[in-house]
Amino acid sequence: MTIKETITAAEDLPSEVVTVEEWGGVKLLLRALSGPDFPWFMRTMNAVGHTGTDQLEFALTCASELIQRGAWDPDVPTQRVFDPEDIAWLLDLKSFNVRQRIALKVIALSTPSSLEVSEEKKDSSPESIAASATS
C-alpha cells in the first residue's frame, strides 16, 4: 500500500455511533465535520453571531443542517444518511429535542475541547518545535 493509499484509508475524524431510540432505535454514525462542511459550520456560526461557547444556541438554529452533514450510515460509513433536500421535508419535522441532542453531539465531535486546544498551543511553542526538529 502506498503512503497516499494509507492516508486515504485512515479514519482521522472523531466519530461516535449513537442509538436514537425515538427514531425506532436506529443507529447513526456521527462524525466530525470536514471538507466543505467544516467551513460551512464556521461561516454559519459567525454569520448568526455565535461563538464556540454558544453551541446550544447554534444547535437551536441549525440542528437539521448539522445532522444532515454529520450523520453517516454505520454499515456504509461512506454514505450520508440524509441528503440536503431531506432537511425541509423530513428532519425539520422531527422532534426538536432529539434533533438538538444529535446536533450538539456533531458540534462536540467537530470542535476541539479546551484541553486539546491548550495542549496544541503548548506543543506549538518554539521550544517544543525545536525539540521535535532535533529528535
The CATH architecture one would assign to domain 12-134 is 2-Layer Sandwich (3.30)
Are 92 and 103 contacting, i.e. CB atoms less than 8 angstroms apart? no
C-alpha distances (whole Å) from 65 to each of 3, 70, 92, 110 are 34, 8, 9, 14
Sign of CA dihedral 50, 52, 53, 58: positive
Q: How far apart, in whole angstroms, are the C-alpha atoms of residue 1 and residue 64?
A: 39
> Could you tell me which residues are beta bridge partners of residue 18?
28
pLDDT score of 41: 87
Q: How far apart, in whole angstroms, are the C-alpha atoms of residue 101 and residue 18?
A: 11
pTM reported for the whole predicted model: 0.75
Task: Report pLDDT digits (tens) over 73-110.
Answer: 999 998 999 999 999 999 999 999 999 999 999 999 99
